[in-house]
């Protein structure tokens, strides 16, 4: 039997879509190195989404107005926030292994 993730309906689709788009831009092939350098310069862990939002790192990488990603995230209900967090963490794990090795300090758990 294959595991199949349950589907949860997104309540605020416009805000969710905007935030998802910004995350996708930050993790785009042409921007991921810049994003990881930004996190490294601020001594942030890549999996710590709250501090990433607080530092406006996604906004910088996606070339958005500072505070946009955080305000979109905060406007979402908890169920949508959980889906954003899951999406973000899946993008973190999809980063090229060579880049993950180069920025290994960002990927450490402690």
Mean pLDDT of all residues belonging to the chain: 90
Whether 44 contacts 107, CB under 8 Å:
no
Q: What is the pLDDT of residue 33?
A: 94
Token pair 């949860």 is found at: 8
- Residue 107: its pLDDT value, please? 85
H helices of the chain, in order, are: 13-26, 32-41, 49-54, 57-62, 68-75, 78-94, 97-102, 104-107
Whether 79 is in a domain gets the answer yes
- State how many domains the chain has: 1
7: in domain: no
pLDDT tens for each residue of 28-48: 999 999 999 999 999 999 999
Residue 8 lies in a domain: no
Domain assignment present for residue 3? The answer is no
The pTM (predicted TM-score) of the whole model is 0.87
Q: Look at residues 59, 91, 61 and name the one whose alpha carbon lies nearest to residue 72.
A: 59
Q: What integer pLDDT is reported at residue 59 of this predicted model?
A: 93
Domain membership of residue 26 (yes or no) is yes
Q: Are 84 and 70 in contact (CB under 8 A)?
A: no
pLDDT at 110 over 70: no
Say if residue 5's pLDDT is above 80.
no
Evaluate whether residue 6 is within a structural domain. no
Residue 34 in any domain: the answer is yes
| Residue 39 located in a structural domain | yes
Domain that holds residue 79: 13-107
């Amino acid at each position: 039997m294959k595991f199949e993730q349950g589907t949860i309906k997104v309540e605020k689709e416009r805000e969710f879509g905007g935030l998802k788009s910004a995350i996708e831009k930050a993790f785009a092939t042409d921007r991921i190195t810049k994003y990881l350098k930004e996190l490294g310069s601020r001594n942030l862990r890549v999996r710590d989404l709250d501090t990433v939002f607080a530092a406006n790192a996604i906004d910088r990488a996606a070339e958005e107005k500072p505070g946009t990603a955080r305000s979109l995230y905060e406007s979402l209900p908890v169920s949508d926030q959980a889906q954003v967090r899951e999406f973000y963490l899946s993008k973190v794990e999809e980063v090229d292994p060579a880049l993950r090795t180069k920025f290994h300090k960002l990927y450490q758990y402690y």
